[in-house]
Amino acid sequence: MANTKSAKKAVRQLHKRTAVNTARKSRMRSFIRKVEEAIASGKKDEAQAALRAAQPIIARNGQLSVLHERTASRKISRLSKRVGAMESA
């Protein structure tokens, strides 16, 4: 248990940051899910629009160290590749 004033403050900050990062991850997953659902339904235009909306969210999470920058790049790349491989519908 935190004894000093600074340790107590550090615990408060930790809880705050954890809550923010959890919300950011959840939001990112929602955007990724929209892209994947559009890919599964075969709607290329919808998938491209969803990907355009998801890319900045994923990249920002990488910059803010919610996830590693290369992981963010890899996610964007793989989604882009899947959307690009779709046939026009």
Burial track 14-44 (b if 16+ CB lie within 10 A, e otherwise): eeeeeeeeeebeeebeebbebbbebbeeeeb
Helices (H), 1-88: 5-41, 44-63, 69-84
Contact 47, 86 (CB under 8 A): yes
Nearest Cα residue to 51 out of 23, 81, 25: 81
- Stated pTM of the model: 0.88
Q: Mind listing the pLDDT tens digit for each residue in 35-89?
A: 999 999 999 999 999 999 999 999 999 999 999 999 999 999 999 999 999 986 5
- Domain boundaries in the chain? 30-89
**Which pLDDT band holds residue 2 (cuts at 50, 70, 90)?**
confident
